Amino acid sequence: MTVQSQLVEINALRTHYLVAGEGPPLVLLHSGEYGASAQLSWERVIPALAEHHRVIAPDWLGFGESAKVYDFEGGTRRRLTHMAALLAHLGVESAPFVGSSMGGTVLARDLASGDPVLPASAAVLCSGGGFVPLNPERQVLLDYDGTEAAMRAMLRVLFWDPSWALRDDYVRRRVEQSTRPGAWEAVAAARFKSPQVPARPEFGQPDTTCYEAIGVPTLVVAGAEDRLREPGYAEEIARRIPDGRVAVYERCGHVPNLECPDRFAEDVLAFLTDVDAARAGLSPEPTATRP
């Protein structure tokens, strides 16, 4: 399966995305840790998904090969509108979306807003949404300084399997992505606070997302050993979504799309098949648990 790397200008900003396969579009939204990108988030599942879909995996603004900018007025809203503009440029009027970690959280909040920016017909939230505790594991991610040692520490948090932190080539790829000109600054910028604003950490705050307002079928995927979320959060989110279902993977951490790529791709494709069948008036057997 050939994965093409494409660069376009959207609103005068360099915008990078990966594309593979043919068929109905499927959009993948990557995570938001230092060094994250479409390539590093989705490389293990794109081939399987692209056998059935035209897979589009963009780099968010500030990440990967997209422009290293951060909007201090618009914040996440700017990233969302920029993503929507890219998809409009690509002719995507409606598609299922899959979001990992930050990508899933941003997707869930957009769909629950009452006026979504993204044209999502269905959603997969992979380690996204829910209360995000400010715990020692989260602090490891926040303290990343661009060194290999710090990257290995971060990988030990993200993955259940500790061998990922010992894979020298993988660690170097992650470090190289995180130290591209402007990459560290663009991610860190989201946490800059003016001294005129009351001190308030980004994490450890109540999750105010109104999941009951999500109006599209949604699959919540989580790792049972995810140390960046609290146990049971995925089941709780899925219960609150009117057409929600959940899949929790044992022996898996915060990145099911990387640790369990075969099962993840299989579950996503089965979920989308269920959604299409339901819309066609059929009644397939559910492939993930409805809470």
84 occurs within a structural domain: yes
In the chain, % of residues over pLDDT 90: 80
112 occurs within a structural domain: yes
290 occurs within a structural domain: no
144 occurs within a structural domain: no
pLDDT digit string (tens) for 101-149?
A: 999 999 999 999 999 999 999 999 999 999 888 899 999 999 999 999 9
Total of domains in the chain? 1
Task: Give CA–CA dist 251/160, Å, rounded.
Answer: 6
**Is residue 19 scored above 90 in pLDDT?**
yes
Query: What average pLDDT does this structure show over 3-27?
Result: 96
Q: Which residues contact 188 (CB under 8 A, 6 or more apart)?
A: none
For residue 233, the enclosing domain spans: 4-132+207-279
Look at residue 197 in the predicted model and tell me its pLDDT. 63
20 occurs within a structural domain: yes
29 occurs within a structural domain: yes
pLDDT digit string (tens) for 220-250?
A: 999 999 999 999 999 999 999 999 999 999 9
Phi and psi (nearest 5°) for 49?
-65, -35
pLDDT digit string (tens) for 177-234?
A: 999 998 888 888 877 766 766 665 566 677 889 999 999 999 999 999 999 999 999 9
CATH number (domain holding residue 60): 3.40.50.1820
163 occurs within a structural domain: no
Task: Give CA–CA dist 249/231, Å, rounded.
Answer: 12
Task: Give CA–CA dist 194/47, Å, rounded.
Answer: 44
191 occurs within a structural domain: no
**Is residue 288 scored above 70 in pLDDT?**
no
Entry pTM = 0.93
